Amino acid sequence: MNQNTKSFVKEEWLSEDEYIDKILFDDVKENIEFVSNTLGDSFDLVIREIVLKNVHQEIKLGFAVMEGLSDSVFVNQVILDNLANRFTKLDEKIKKSNMVDYFEKTLIPLSNVRVEDKYGKLLNHLLNGDTIIMIDGFTCFLAISSKGFKERAVEEPKNNVSVKGSKEAFTESFATNVSLLRKRMKNPNLRVKTYIIGKKTNCNIALVYIKGLCDEQLLNEVDKRLNATEIESIVDSSYLKYFLKEKQHSIFPLIYDTERPDSVIGGLYEGRFAIIVDGSPNVLIAPVTFSNFLTSAEDYFSKTFVGTALRIMRVLAVAFALFLPAAYMCIVKFNSELLPINMVYSITGQRTNVPLPADLEIILTCFAFDLLTEAGTRMPRAVGTALSFVGAIVIGQAAVEASLISSMMLIIVSVNGIGTLLIPDYEMSQTVKFVRYFILLAALVYGILGFAIAVFVLLVHLISLRSFGKPYLQPLAPLAKKGLLDSLVVAPLGKLLKRDKDKKGAINEKV
């Protein structure tokens, strides 16, 4: 017992710096020991010594693979069987000087074989599901691609839903995501530049852009920021958002993420770049403008008139989501003359028996609505139905019947809530939801004056924002004529594509 504890403690944890640049030993046994020690004798690590024999010679090999991350059938039947068979049938002795080369080119003639010599690389390949073969007497190893872990199939997008258009969404698999883009854009100018970021997670990241359309300066800046990223681990693409963002502090999202390949393609054509992070189904797009967050893929698939109407509807939804409760409070508490007299009578009648003051009433109702929507998002589906019943009955009926809140207030908060839900981007929708509380607070304290000041501060903030150097409210402030074709209105597709035919993408329009 005592011994066991001791051995457990003895097993020292190696910091990244200790192995990342360490060259392999030339003895296979030592290498095997080092790797298994580094990985802590993990049960899924298959590492052993193999001896290949033929009439001319005998070679000791080290073999390592992660079970579960690799395709075991491929490893056994294709790599090991072939290697053994070929070696046995050799009719000459392999010279030591070209042993590694011979192994790589003749004995293992597979598509993806690399020769490396550092432990950092070895562990990286191993943990990516590759098969590692070390040859006794050499300080290098062969990494053979044999990834074969279970991955989710390409499914329908769940968050960026649209009725028309492609039903494919990105998955957690890096290669699949890149291939989804390639499939749609058979263009040799599509560049995919990979990085490995995160000292602990060694995450694969791809910077995707179209050469010629994307601004060189912008790419240099992104490259600089990605290389400078000192991040220990990346769990999701959202982590990168933090490290890539501008110096400005803002509650508004400055990088757009989507799970739709067609949205990414659209963005690339407009001169933006995309970042794919291994393990995350959300692909980042930047630079973005505010109007991008109000865009749904469907806008472009519908007729111009319908697309424009939908876009305007969404802009109104944002206005409702941000301003409705504050505007209602201004009227109810400060300036009732702004409404026609019949409306004033109606609101007064509804509020007559409500015990709470209007400000408390609206804050509580808004908060209750937010609680319900948030619970609805996180709940398992089976419970969700029960939740909507509770929400509808408790808030909708009982509260009004008990005169705790007025029905007008319920209408205002519901329309407001629906407004937030109409925003296609989840992150923007959440942001708007919380910004409205600030505006509401300003309106409650200072009335219409406070409301106007809050809106003014909000506008100034939005105008001052930059996403990778591009103004956040671009087509509107500063005014960009070409950008206007795809902002409040959606111009006919012909015009939009003609605009994008120019050498520079739409986002790079000089203003």
Partner 1 sequence: MKKFKIFILILVSALGLYGCGSKQDINELIFISAIGFDKSENDGFKMIAQIVNNNVLVPDPPQITPVVIVTSEGETVLDCLVNLNNLLPNRTYMINLQMVVFSEEVAKEGINEYMHFFVNFSEAQHEYNVVITKDISAEDLMSQISVFSMFPTRVLINKLKTATDYYGFARMTFVEEVVNTLRSDYGTLVLSSITAKGDLEKGKSIDQTKETDVVSKIEISDIGVFKDGKLKGWLSKDESVAYNFIHNKIERAYMTVDGTKGNKISNLLRMNKSKITVEVKNNQPSVYIDIKFNVLVTEDTSLVIEIEKAYEEHVERMIKEKLTKQIEDLIVKGKSYFEYDIFGFSEYFYKYEPKWYEANKLFYDEIFKTMPIYVNVIPNIERMDV
- Cα–Cα distances in Å, from 196 out to 14, 154, 205, 229, 237? 20, 24, 6, 10, 13
d(CA 346, CA 326): 19
Minimum distance between the CB of residue 180 and partner 1, rounded to whole angstroms? Answer: 40
- Residues 435-474 vs partner 1: string with x where CB under 8 A? ---x--xx-xxxx---------x-----------------
Q: At what angle do helices 304-329 and 407-422 cross, to 10 degrees?
A: 140
Smaller CB distance to partner 1: residue 140 or 441? Answer: 441
Q: Could you tell me the end-to-end alpha-carbon distance of the chain, in angstroms, rounded to an integer?
A: 74
Does residue 353 bind partner 1 (CB under 8 A)? yes
Minimum distance between the CB of residue 443 and partner 1, rounded to whole angstroms? Answer: 11
Does residue 347 bind partner 1 (CB under 8 A)? yes
Of the candidate spans 83-91, 126-134, 167-175, 333-341, the one that interacts with partner 1 by CB under 8 A turns out to be 333-341
Q: Partners of 284 in the beta sheet? A: 257, 275
Minimum distance between the CB of residue 287 and partner 1, rounded to whole angstroms? Answer: 23
d(CA 103, CA 99): 6
d(CA 381, CA 436): 28
Q: Answer whether 60's CB lies under 8 Å from 133's CB.
A: no
Does residue 365 bind partner 1 (CB under 8 A)? no
Smaller CB distance to partner 1: residue 182 or 245? Answer: 245
Q: Which of 126, 274, 331, 422 binds partner 1 (CB under 8 A)?
A: 331
Residues 247-266 that bind partner 1 (CB under 8 A): 249
Six-digit token pair at 63?
């073999």
Minimum distance between the CB of residue 134 and partner 1, rounded to whole angstroms? Answer: 52
Does residue 345 bind partner 1 (CB under 8 A)? yes
d(CA 465, CA 293): 15
Q: Which of 352, 380, 381, 494 binds partner 1 (CB under 8 A)?
A: 352
Count other C-beta atoms under 10 Å from residue 75's C-beta. 21
DSSP state letter for 80: I
Smaller CB distance to partner 1: residue 232 or 401? Answer: 401
Q: HEC string of 121-163? A: HHHHHHHCCCEEEEECCCCCEEEECCECCCCCCCCCCCCCCCC
Does residue 351 bind partner 1 (CB under 8 A)? yes
Six-digit token pair at 325?
């409760």
Of the candidate spans 136-144, 189-197, 300-308, 340-348, the one that interacts with partner 1 by CB under 8 A turns out to be 340-348
Does residue 332 bind partner 1 (CB under 8 A)? yes
Location of structure tokens 């597709």: 493
- Residues 397-426 vs partner 1: string with x where CB under 8 A? ----------x-------------------
Residue ranges in contact with partner 1 by CB under 8 A: 249, 331-334, 336-337, 341, 344-354, 357-358, 407, 438, 441-442, 444-447, 457
